Amino acid sequence: MEFKKLDEIDSQKMYKVYEEWPNLSKKYFEKNFEKIRVSNINHIIFAGMGGSGALGDIFSSILSKTNIHVKVVKGYNLPKTINENTLVVATSISGNTDETNTVLENANKLNCKLIAFSSGGKMEQFCNNNNIEFRKIEKFHSPRASFPIFLFSILNVLSPIIPIEKKEIQDTLKKMQEMKKQISIENMSEDNIAISLAKWISDIPLIYYPWGLESVAIRFKNSLQENSKSHVIIEDAVESCHNGVVAWERKSKVHPIMIRGMDDHFKTKEKFEILREYFYENKIEYKQVFSVEGSILTKIINLVYFLDYVTIYKAILDGIDPSPVETIEYIKKESILKKNLN
């Protein structure tokens, strides 16, 4: 792949933000944000859509082995389980996401703790008017490209209640820098593993994931859809062995990609190996993507970094500008028109 081609097709230079992800992650984790001051929290609800919703998925995975119950809300409705020990975290990178602002307004009427994150917009105004804790975070390029800025800012602000050690953060940032050397435009050779996977992906990828890494599969799906404008399927690898695998009995233009953690449950590893054997015996081409070693945070962030680069390279290889999301803009515009009519 030629750098010139990348620069010509990526009209808004999204890739340049990805080049800065490791540095931006470090900067915003260390930024002097005011920390949240709450106690006795055992239930956290992350509300958000799109790139902001993906943040909730990531936090749900990160906290999956803790005593904190996590619920991700993508839509308008809050669960009935909210009480005084619940923290609702509303995130809208633009600050104008209708669904998340509706959740924020409804949560403000309930007996729970609240905090919101955005780059401004209606969310900031509502929080200021209603004395709700709010942290303003800069947006870079687009919500999806701003992912690490918001993730590490939220980790920073919520550090008093999220049990993640500083060493985990440092290891994550170190491995991001190492990953960058392999996958960024600094390495446009055949050794670039992100370019290699992007070249392999065609038609409809089916992404298999293990327990704990669903958030990675969701993010990969979203980024393939937005950046390379591709249809994508995701499935839990173990659950699929009870239903979805039967679809392979019929020829299709679907191609499997298996996301695997370095320390998946031994039974999950067994299922992945059985799937590999089945694909091999039936001449179905497949790819495997393994996480780096480290904490759940380190695994997830580095997988997201790698796979997001894959989606940008996939777009460029197909001659598609990764930045515009015209259909999303159309739906937003129509939603506003219908709201005004009502």
77-105 pLDDT tens trace: 999 999 999 999 999 999 999 999 999 99
Tokens representing 23 are 């540095």
**Where does the pLDDT of residue 342 fall: very low under 50, low under 70, confident under 90, or very high at 90 and above?**
low
- Taking residues 44-69, report their average pLDDT: 92
Please give the C-alpha separations between residue 170 and each of 11, 70, 305, 309, in angstroms, as whole numbers. 33, 24, 16, 22
Distance of CA 30 to CAs 38, 65, 156, Å?
A: 20, 25, 7
Sheet holding 133-136, edge to edge: 69-73, 43-47, 86-92, 113-118, 133-136
* Residue 188 pLDDT exceeds 90: no
Spatial distance between the Cα atoms of 95 and 176, rounded to a whole number of angstroms: 28
Q: What DSSP state is assigned to residue 91?
A: E
Q: Is 72 left (phi over 0), alpha (psi -120 to 50) or beta?
A: beta
- pLDDT band for 339, please (50, 70, 90 cuts): confident
Going from the N-terminus, what domains does the chain have, and what CATH number goes with each? 31-164 (3.40.50.10490), 187-317 (3.40.50.10490)
Return phi, psi of residue 145, to 5°: -75, -20
Min mean pLDDT across 7-11, 174-178, 255-259, 301-305 is at 7-11
pLDDT of residue 67: 86
Vertex 290, ends 287 and 292: CA angle to 5°? 155
Nearest C-alpha neighbor of 161 from the set 103, 89, 218 = 89
pLDDT above 70 for 1: no
Q: Which secondary-structure segment (H or E) carries 259?
A: strand 254-260
pLDDT at residue 340 in the model:
77
How far out from the chain centre does Cα 196 lie? 22
Q: Mean of the pLDDT values across residues 97-121?
A: 96
pLDDT tens, 153-181? 999 999 999 988 889 999 999 999 999 99
> Is residue 245 within 8 Å of 278, Cβ to Cβ?
yes
Arithmetic mean of pLDDT, 272-292 = 97
- In the sheet that holds 254-260, the strands lie side by side as 233-236, 204-209, 254-260, 287-290
